[in-house]
Copies of this chain bind each other. A is one copy, B any other.
Amino acid sequence: MKDLAGMDIPTFDDVLAAHDRIRPYIHRTPVLTSAFLNALTGAELFFKCENFQKAGAFKVRGASNAVFGLADDQLARGVATHSSGNHALSLSYAAGRRGIPCTVVMPRTAPQAKKDAVRGYGGFIVECEPSTSSREAVFAGVVAASGADFVHPYNDPRVIAGQATCSRELLEQVPGLDAVIAPIGGGGMISGTCLTVSSTAPGVQVYAAEPAQADDAARSFRAGHIIADDAPDTVADGLKVPLKDLTWHFVKNHVSDIFTASEAEIIAAMRLTWARMKMVIEPSCAVPLATILNNPDVFRGRRVGVIITGGNVDLDKLPWMQG
């Protein structure tokens, strides 16, 4: 579906097609609960565990939808992307499953574990500086040279339709949700969540959670237009990227509110999740729990789906062990 500005906006039919296309390559991840965290928040929390997803994050859904939907005449030239991490792993994984080349432009400061994992899946890394501007410049050169299909980490209708399959599963797994909350960086997961929820369960509210130190989405939401920061600094390294036109479309039309949490609150929520739920989660996906704890009146007494977006961390550098 094209909107008035010519954007190719994915529909729920695209979500259904994506789910059929990617099902052989993804896990239907479990939903876990914690009596301790329910008591602490006063809410009923249902954690959709995409940290147990293939390649360690939900991003494999969108990446697989793009890769397995490619036309035959594009296969030899493969795919390329820029990514702060999980999209890079996911696109490499999906390309590997389809047997096509995948080039990733990645900040040189990305966690070593993510670089190793990209290479482990067969992806080829080209490094850039850790800023949006450097990343985009380096990437333009890669695409010009290779003819690869650019699979944007979030501002791509194929990717959003893929991410939307996560909340489709969540709504099937947990009846009677009042709300869903997910982290927001570029907005791919939130856009997919908005697409599924607005199409199939419009009474369910969608909230986004963001680091206070990378709160461009929250400021955009209040201002009514996209505000982009070039290189925000936060432990939630998956959430540094700005909204783009397609994700902004979903955020502005379907998100009920965007909450923020400090770095210390994010790390505390991350450690609490590891300690009580026995799950390895990234800092990024601790942000929703941190904001639930910051806004008890919003969530108390409600059934809330919490999307745990990924579990790719460097186990030698845990944030609560650093000075």
Using a CB–CB cutoff of 8 Å, the interface residues on chain A facing chain B are 30, 32, 35, 51-52, 54, 56, 113, 271, 274-275, 277-281, 311, 315-316, 318, 320-321
Contact = CB atoms under 8 A, between A and B. Distances in A.
B35 A52 contact: no
A35 B51 contact: no
Contact of A316 (B113, B281, B321): B321
B271 A51 contact: no
Given A32-B52, A278-B280, A280-B280, A315 B311 contact: no
Given A30-B30, A315-B271, A51 B278 contact: yes
Contacts of A321: 316, 321
Most buried by B among A52, A271, A316: A52
A54 B278 CA distance: 11
A277 B281 CA distance: 11
B278 A113 contact: no
Given A315-B271, A320-B316, A278 B279 contact: yes
Copies in the complex: 2
Nearest 7 pairs of A and B residues by beta carbon: A278-B311, A278-B280, A51-B278, A30-B30, A274-B280, A274-B315, A52-B278
Identify whether the interface residues of A are mostly helix, strand, loop, or mixed: helix
Contact of A52 (B277, B281, B316, B318): B277
Given A32-B52, A54-B35, A321-B321, A275 B316 contact: no
Contacts of A32: 30, 52
A315 B275 contact: yes
A274 B312 CA distance: 10
Contacts of A30: 30, 32
Contacts of A311: 278
A246 to B, nearest CB: 29
Most interface-central of A275, A318, A320 (chain B CB within 10 A):
A275
B279 A56 contact: no
Contacts of A320: 315-316
A113 B275 contact: yes
A49 to B, nearest CB: 8
Nearest to A53: B278
Nearest to A281: B278
Nearest to A278: B311
A3 to B, nearest CB: 37
Contacts of A51: 278
Contacts of A56: 278
Contact of A279 (B113, B280, B318): B280
Contacts of A52: 32, 277-278
A321 to B, nearest CB: 7
